[in-house]
Amino acid sequence: MREFDAWLAHAPYAFTREEKRQHLMQRLSALTELHKEHCEPYRNILQGFGYDSAATTIPEDIPFLPVALFKTLTLKSVPDESVVKTMTSSGTTGQAVSRIFLDKTTATHQQKTLVRIVSHFTGAGRLPMLIIDTPAVMKDRNMFSARGAGILGFSMFGSERCWALTESMDLDIDGVSEFLARHEGKPVLLFGFTFMIWQHFYQALKASGRTFNLSNGILIHGGGWKKLHSQAVSSDAFAKALLSVSGLNKIYDYYGMVEQTGCIYMQCEYGHLHASIFSDVIIRDPRTLSVCPQGRPGIIQVLSILPESYPGHSLLTEDEGMLLGEDDCRCGRAGKYFHILGRLKNAEIRGCSDTYASEY
């Protein structure tokens, strides 16, 4: 499965519709056969579907797994001794969590892909990095939670790292101020999860009466919006609030999940989430599972070319979204762009922000 390296020769948003579909179909078909051969539960599921590789000719026909299966089945396509890392999804207390088994090859794919996507927005060099979280989250290096995995993954973009919160989740105003003073006038990268940024960074800074100068900052944030939307905090209000206390004006949300780590969907300057050449989205009707046309809400299916150690290349999520367009976003990036509408009704809370907020 050496074909992955060929994708790295291309810019992350270079493929238009037809060329992407051709490359994507070849890779997804190969991954389906790989996992069919090496993962017995997946093979049994394909048999139940009546899967016929000869009749599977377009990406929409690639069989998908409901993402919740990773909570109940052991889905891996490599022997135990090849597993170098096991990642778990976010979940509230008492919830089952997904377990994702990574070998060295898949972990490397994830890291390289994340670098290509994020560098497209931040630039090629590493930047001084402010992590809006507590170092206490990085406890078990062998069993990574989604939150810890997110922090670890984005940390490689930092030339120097500063934790904005103490172990008791208080904003370290003096520590952050000293960090910013050392890098005054230079670009700074910030990373965190949406609710935690709002609750422990913005709210705490506002209550203190202090301000930070982050006019040269670039914030990347992810996780669920459910708690903030319940507080009537929109993405626009979120951005305006941060601007008011810090001068921060470059803010990029992203959509991603531990089941397809590395293939994140970054938000462009016009507020649209974009699929890179490494991934794609399909919107499906919640009743028939047929493909929804552009502009019609449905269940989000995500495709990824990365997973070789587990059958996670085609997953039906528990999120609702809507395709906005393809190859014609005003930002100039090729590929599909879409909008997240929220969690499906009765779906478990599982976004890093929403999980933390529900226990906060």
Tens-digit pLDDT profile for residues 161-181: 999 999 889 999 999 999 999
Place of tokens 């170092």: 135
Residue 196 pLDDT exceeds 90: no
Strand residue runs (E) in 4-122: 65-66, 85-88, 99-102
pLDDT at 250: 93
Residue 313: CB partners within 8 Å, gap ≥ 6?
A: 28, 31, 32, 35, 62, 303, 304, 305, 306, 307
User: Beta strands 85-88 and 143-144: pairing type?
Assistant: parallel
pLDDT at 90: 62
- With bands split at pLDDT 50, 70 and 90, how would you rate the model's confidence at 234? confident
pLDDT at 235: 80
Tens-digit pLDDT profile for residues 291-340: 999 999 999 999 999 999 999 999 999 999 999 999 999 999 999 999 99
Cβ(334)–Cβ(21) below 8 Å: no
Tens-digit pLDDT profile for residues 236-288: 888 899 999 999 999 999 999 889 999 999 999 999 999 999 999 999 999 99
Residue 316: CB partners within 8 Å, gap ≥ 6?
A: 64, 65, 66, 67, 284, 299, 300, 301
Average pLDDT, the chain: 89
Residue 140 pLDDT exceeds 60: no
pLDDT at 217: 95
pLDDT at 358: 47
pLDDT over 70, % of the chain: 89
Cβ(239)–Cβ(140) below 8 Å: no
Distances (CA, A) of 139 to 10, 60, 262: 36, 40, 21
